[in-house]
């Protein structure tokens, strides 16, 4: 199905993006928003296909997410995971009992041969969403993180192994997106980027949330062609990520952990960037990179603040 002319496309990772989108759909019709979501964090646990970022966005837009925890469903229980411990299998990835229903459904549909983009649409409809969610690709792309141990030895870990099992503790020396070179954008993504009135890069981790989306051939090029319509929201405030491990990745990979570093990483394809009020004295450095800086409150303490941030973000490229 072709997306309507004038849609608003948002490139999204997990919880930061989900909160931003929750604000965005308060200021534009939810049906006008197409969220292109990172799937390089996806993994298989106990034979089930888990798509953390797609689920974070779905649950948050449905008003069902666990706000305090930052992932999963509100009022979740973990009886199944507890019961699995009997079988001496790894249970470090916290799959809740209700959340498991989503993974069971997704796994069965993928097994039936339905592409992830179609399964994602089915899940979004089941949760009552008007906003359209699409994975960046229907193909398998997986973030792989090379770390160095205290002993000096290097290992390559899957994203969830590094982030959840090892609590983002091992030092990062490299990141790659396995499978990205051969991946194709999900159906409709490139058309939507070409016709979108505005393209927003949500406040998500630039390396492991936005990076994999940009690595899918054709997506970065489509953004470059629409640079004057592309606006990013910095996930870095006052020299630190609002949440998550972005600083553990950006620093070692040579990106300054600041809104200026984000602007430098995005300048080829983003005409404007929204930075937090605490970073107002860095606006001139951002603008010196050829990226327009818009200064506002970016900490989404409430859906109202997220809506106000979304309004300012859209105005930046209006």
Which residues form the interface with ligand FO1 (CB under 6 A)? 13-14, 41, 50, 52-53, 55, 71-72, 93-95, 99, 160, 163-164
Helix axes 116-126, 52-61, angle to 10 degrees: 20
- Phi, psi at residue 59, to the nearest 5°? -65, -40
Smallest separation, CB 176 to ligand FO1 (Å)? 17
Decide whether 19 or 229 has the Cβ nearer to ligand FO1: 19
Q: Please give, one letter per residue, the 3-state secondary structure of 162-231.
A: HHHHCCCCCEEEEEEEECHHHCCECCCHHHHHHHCCEEEECCCCHHHHHHHHHHCCCHHHHHHHCHHHEE
Decide whether 160 or 234 has the Cβ nearer to ligand FO1: 160
Beta bridge partners of 145: 157, 175
Decide whether 193 or 210 has the Cβ nearer to ligand FO1: 210
Query: What whole-number distance in Å separates Cα of residue 273 and Cα of residue 292?
Result: 6
* Contact present, 177 and 142 (Cβ < 8 Å): yes
Smallest separation, CB 40 to ligand FO1 (Å)? 9
Decide whether 14 or 23 has the Cβ nearer to ligand FO1: 14
Report helix, strand or coil for 48. Answer: strand
Smallest separation, CB 175 to ligand FO1 (Å)? 14
Decide whether 7 or 249 has the Cβ nearer to ligand FO1: 249
CA within 13 Å, CB half, 267: 16
Smallest separation, CB 200 to ligand FO1 (Å)? 17
- Closest by CA to 278, choosing from 297, 261, 291, 258, is 297
Decide whether 14 or 206 has the Cβ nearer to ligand FO1: 14
Smallest separation, CB 205 to ligand FO1 (Å)? 7
Beta bridge partners of 215: none
Smallest separation, CB 14 to ligand FO1 (Å)? 3
Smallest separation, CB 79 to ligand FO1 (Å)? 15
CA within 13 Å, CB half, 313: 35
* Contact present, 209 and 20 (Cβ < 8 Å): no
Decide whether 110 or 289 has the Cβ nearer to ligand FO1: 110
């Amino acid at each position: 199905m072709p997306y309507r002319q004038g849609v608003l496309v948002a490139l999204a990772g997990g919880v930061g993006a989900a909160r931003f989108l929750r604000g965005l759909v308060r200021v534009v019709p939810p049906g006008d928003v197409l969220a292109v979501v990172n799937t390089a964090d996806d993994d298989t646990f106990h034979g089930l296909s888990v798509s953390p970022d797609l689920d974070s966005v779905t649950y948050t837009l449905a008003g069902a997410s666990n706000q305090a925890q930052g992932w999963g469903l509100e009022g979740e229980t973990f009886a199944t995971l507890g019961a699995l411990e009997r079988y001496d299998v790894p249970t470090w990835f916290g799959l809740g009992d209700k959340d498991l229903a989503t993974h069971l459904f997704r796994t069965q549909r993928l097994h039936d041969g339905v592409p992830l983009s179609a399964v994602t649409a089915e899940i979004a409809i089941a949760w009552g969403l008007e906003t359209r969610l699409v994975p960046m690709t229907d193909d398998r792309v997986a973030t792989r993180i090379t770390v160095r141990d205290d002993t000096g030895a290097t290992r390559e870990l899957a994203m969830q192994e590094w982030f959840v099992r090892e609590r983002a503790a091992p030092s990062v020396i490299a990141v790659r997106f396995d499978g990205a070179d051969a991946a194709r954008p999900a159906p409709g993504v490139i058309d939507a980027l070409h016709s979108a009135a505005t393209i927003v890069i949500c406040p998500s981790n630039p390396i492991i949330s936005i990076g994999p989306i940009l690595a899918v051939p054709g997506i970065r090029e489509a953004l470059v062609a629409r640079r004057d319509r592309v606006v990013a929201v910095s996930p870095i405030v006052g020299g630190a990520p609002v949440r998550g491990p972005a600083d553990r990745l950006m620093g070692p990979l040579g990106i300054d952990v600041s809104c200026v570093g984000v602007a430098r990483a995005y300048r080829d394809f983003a005409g404007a960037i929204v930075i937090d009020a605490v970073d107002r004295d860095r606006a001139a450095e951002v603008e010196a990179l050829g990226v327009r800086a818009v200064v506002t409150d970016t900490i989404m303490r409430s859906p109202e603040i997220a809506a106000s941030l979304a309004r300012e973000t859209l105005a930046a490229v209006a």
